[in-house]
Amino acid sequence: MVVAALLVLVGCTPDERPTAATSSPRTPSATPTATPALTATLTTPAPAAVVLPAATAETAALEASQTLFAQAPVVVLAPAEDPAAQAAAATTATTVGAPLLLTGPAVPADALLGELDRLGTRWVLAHGATDLAVPSDVTLVRADATAAAGTSSEAPSAAPTGGQLAAPVTLAPSTPTPSAPTARVSPSPSSTPADLPRTARPEPLTGTVALTGVGAAPAAALATIAAAGLPVVDVPGGDPRATTAGVQALAANHPAHVVAVGAAFGDPALLASRVAAASSGLLAPGGGQLVFPQVPGLPGKKYVALYGAPGTPALGVLGEQDVPATIARAQAHADAFRPLTGDTVVPAVEIIATVASAGPEADGSYSRAIPVETLRPLVEAAGAAGFAVVLDLQPGRTDFLTQAQRYQDLLALPYVGLALDPEWRLAPDQVHLRQIGSVGVDEINAVAAWLADLTRQRGLPQKMFVVHQFSLRMVAGRERLDTSHDELAVLIHVDGQGTQPAKAGTWATLRAGAPPVHWGWKNFYDEDQPMLDPAQTYAVQPVPDLVTYQ
């Protein structure tokens, strides 16, 4: 194998191609014989996502080779404990298009020899003081960084046991040709070895991308990944949906397969689903595709919303003005919170899509469904302004899933989430304002499963899924609330109103024994005594992830 320090990229014309070195002088009339270039063969990973555990630098290097290379006549070798040798070897491997393996305590010699055998390796170019005893049919070349200047490097006095030591090598300078990169070395005039190889980079894998970002990336594994020609996308925290840059990079490459370096990327099937969503290129409000990104060193998200129904002032401040004024008012509410946090504050509107009614509707539901086309102007205006939108359901005697499906066209938009309001979910013999409604958790979980499926099938960003609550009995079996859907960010929104001590008591009661969810707080202009200002609202602990105004 050829090392970076000893190699140059060349595009050989017919009269430049290196010939086999022989022990007898060549006659002037001899016709040069071209030496075939040694080229590795790459393999596309069969699964949509492969996660390399990469527990150590040595194991990561071996895993990358096993995943991406089917055959490699040349392999680069370096000791794991020698960073300088690794750096030089990484350059060589990347230049030549060959895998880089590391010797060290984490990988037994038998494992490395097994990989050389699997790859059909015949040349090993070793950087640093590696002590691997290669088989007798494998040529070991000791690389010396001083040869980069074109000088000969002295060969060791004896070959390692079981291996053949090639003669010293010198740089064979020529002009790089990017379209047909090869690398060659030539023997020093005083040596008479067997032919040293001329190598050519393999055709890069297409449709495959490498992911890093869950820790220090092992240089040797990255060199092998680069040798295979894979683009590398940085994924902070291990979720490819977390950042706008990551989403855009995956959308640009739209990979069919990914190779992720680091066990923290988690389950490969889950990772493949996340990559598929990110590859759509669709962004959630506030950037990336996560509702509440939690990446160390990067800002999270908070939401500030107006609540109500368009054109109906009695149902909340959202309905007190027309669409442009609603957008401006929601923006002003969000602006007041920005100085209070390092997170991204996203303006939002929570729109009542089905309104609880005092009497039965034509279908007997006690719920008036606002038509999709009536809601669309506000929904689309909010989306165009970069807002999050949440559709709120007050179903009466109808179940939540039936009503949610009515708004599938709007929920298919990348910035629209869903809220369920159990206060307005009636039993068959109940009437609004005579009884406070409630719902069993299985009905909520059925809606969550449907919404998660819709999100996954459409390749949409993660959706906010809100459950409103101001008393424990409103959600029977809440401890079984399904928060496992990766496509959803589940939030319990505490709707208590009245005095601040009473609201604080409701907040504490609902949080006790709750499943792992995010939390929302509602400020009532008329019912709260007094209503908290933004600073006071963010003094609530934990700080609410969603604040709505009604």
d(CA 369, CA 397): 13
Q: Which two tokens stand for residue 147?
A: 């040869």
Closest CA to 183 of 200, 203, 166: 200
Contact 471, 497 (CB under 8 A): no
Q: What is the structure's pLDDT at 169?
A: 32
**Domain map (residue ranges) of the chain:** 4-13+37-205, 223-278, 305-549
Contact 357, 363 (CB under 8 A): no
Q: How many CB atoms lie within 10 A of CB 92?
A: 27
DSSP one-letter string for 497-532? -SBHHHHHHHHHHHHTT--S-EEEEEE-TTTSBSPP
Q: What is the structure's pLDDT at 157?
A: 27
Q: What is the structure's pLDDT at 358?
A: 86
Give the pLDDT confidence of 128-154 residue by residue, as tens digits: 988 899 999 999 998 763 333 222 233
Residue 32, classed as helix, strand or coil, is coil
> Is this prediction's pTM over 0.75?
yes
Q: What is the structure's pLDDT at 16?
A: 34
Q: What is the structure's pLDDT at 14?
A: 32
β-strands 257-261, 301-308 pairing:
unpaired
- How far from 140 is each of 163, 168, 169, CA to CA, in Å? 7, 11, 12
Q: What is the structure's pLDDT at 298?
A: 93
d(CA 73, CA 98): 8
d(CA 281, CA 439): 36
The DSSP H or E segment spanning 345 is: strand 344-356
- How far from 40 is each of 58, 75, 308, 415, 516, CA to CA, in Å? 21, 9, 63, 46, 49
Q: How many residues belong to the chain?
A: 550
Q: Which two tokens stand for residue 318?
A: 């959202």
What single letter denotes the amino acid at residue 495? Answer: D
d(CA 180, CA 167): 27
Residue 462, classed as helix, strand or coil, is coil
Give the pLDDT confidence of 59-74 residue by residue, as tens digits: 999 999 999 999 999 9
d(CA 221, CA 226): 9
d(CA 262, CA 222): 12
d(CA 216, CA 388): 35
Q: What is the structure's pLDDT at 197?
A: 66
Backbone angles phi, psi at 459, to 5 degrees: 65, 40
Contact 235, 285 (CB under 8 A): no
Residue 450, classed as helix, strand or coil, is helix
d(CA 330, CA 353): 18
pLDDT < 70 stretches in the chain = 1-35, 144-197
Contact 42, 70 (CB under 8 A): yes
Terminal C-alpha separation, the chain: 70
Q: What is the structure's pLDDT at 362?
A: 86
d(CA 493, CA 476): 16
422 burial class (0-12, 13-18, 19+ CB within 10 angstroms)? buried
Q: What is the structure's pLDDT at 23?
A: 36
Q: Estimate to the nearest angstrom the gap between the alpha carbon of 477 and the chain centroid.
A: 34
Task: Provide the CATH number for the domain formed by 305-549 in this structure.
Answer: 3.20.20
d(CA 185, CA 83): 24
486 burial class (0-12, 13-18, 19+ CB within 10 angstroms)? middle
Q: Estimate to the nearest angstrom the gap between the alpha carbon of 165 and the chain centroid.
A: 45
Q: What is the structure's pLDDT at 143?
A: 79
